Amino acid sequence: MNATNRVLMSHQPIGSIASLNASLTIVVFDARTATDWVPTKPAATKAQFTGHPAEVMRGLSKGEEVCAVDVGASGGFAFELEGTSGRLEAYRLADGTLALVAPPRAWWIDPAHHGDHIDEVDALFAESLSTGVDDATEAGALELSSGKLAAVYLWMKKVGAARDLAATVPSGGALEFGDGYGDGTSGLIVDLGPGSYQLRRGELAAPWDADQSLVTMYLVREN
């Protein structure tokens, strides 16, 4: 078994998040502050967006890859990894680092996308899930007092449910949840343990397609 296969065999997704379209804007924060999230009105038009979705859109419209979001005591961060698949997968690395990866491997190896480059795709994932974090760019620092991270799709309508659901996630566990829209995986709660976490963004370009990249947001525990 070569090094690429060893990495992939030892790292299986612990959860996923999907949007209703190709765009996937994600917000991460301490799950215990989930009830402080203010959603936009269900029937709002673009000019009427309110609450945290509007705050996130204003922040990201400034051109930053990551923007800070005021979500209760811990705060949070919003970002868009890529605008191609509308999906991401979460992995826990050997040292406990959380990696949010997009597009997911199933999208890459689909014959309609890059199915004729499976070996190269696997090499990209192996790098992302091993040494990729070393070259990733620091994007912010997140305090997780409860140790439970909530990662949600921007337009999720029941973000507040994460607070109670977090209590059901065991040590080292993860839980997908949804709001009844889409395919039901618009949120993810991961037990990372209490502490401060550095956000790092990494991007690996596909050698055979300059317009396509594997993008990863890492949450690395600070010592």
Q: Is the pLDDT of residue 220 over 90?
A: yes
pLDDT at 42: 58
Mean pLDDT of 128-142: 95
To which residue do tokens 């030892």 refer?
A: 10
Contacts of 206 (CB under 8 A, 6+ apart): 114, 117, 120, 121, 124, 212, 213, 214
Q: Is the pLDDT of residue 134 over 90?
A: yes
Range with the lowest mean pLDDT among 18-32, 99-113, 127-141, 171-185?
A: 171-185
Of residues 9 and 96, more confidence is placed in: 96
**Mean pLDDT over the full length of the chain:** 88
CA distances from 30 to 76, 143, 151, 178, 219 (A): 7, 7, 9, 17, 13
Q: Which residues pair with 156 in a beta bridge?
A: none
pLDDT at 16: 95
Range with the lowest mean pLDDT among 17-21, 29-33, 101-105, 108-112?
A: 17-21
Q: Residue 184 — very low, low, confident or very high, per pLDDT cuts 50/70/90?
A: low
Q: Is the pLDDT of residue 165 over 70?
A: yes
Structure tokens at 212: 């396509």
To which residue do tokens 């949600």 refer?
A: 152
Among 28, 193, 64, residue whose Cα is nearest residue 137: 64
Count CA within 13 A, CB hemisphere, residue 115. Answer: 6
Among 100, 132, 98, residue whose Cα is nearest residue 205: 132
Mean pLDDT of 167-192: 89
* pTM greater than the 0.95 cutoff: no
- For 84-116, give the DSSP string: SSSEEEEEE-TTS-EEEEES-HHHHTSTTTTGG
pLDDT digits (tens, 9 = 90+) for 12-50: 999 999 988 888 899 999 999 988 887 766 555 556 676
Mean pLDDT of 66-86: 86
Q: What is the DSSP letter of 71?
A: -
Asked whether the beta carbons of 14 and 98 are under 8 A apart, the reply is: no
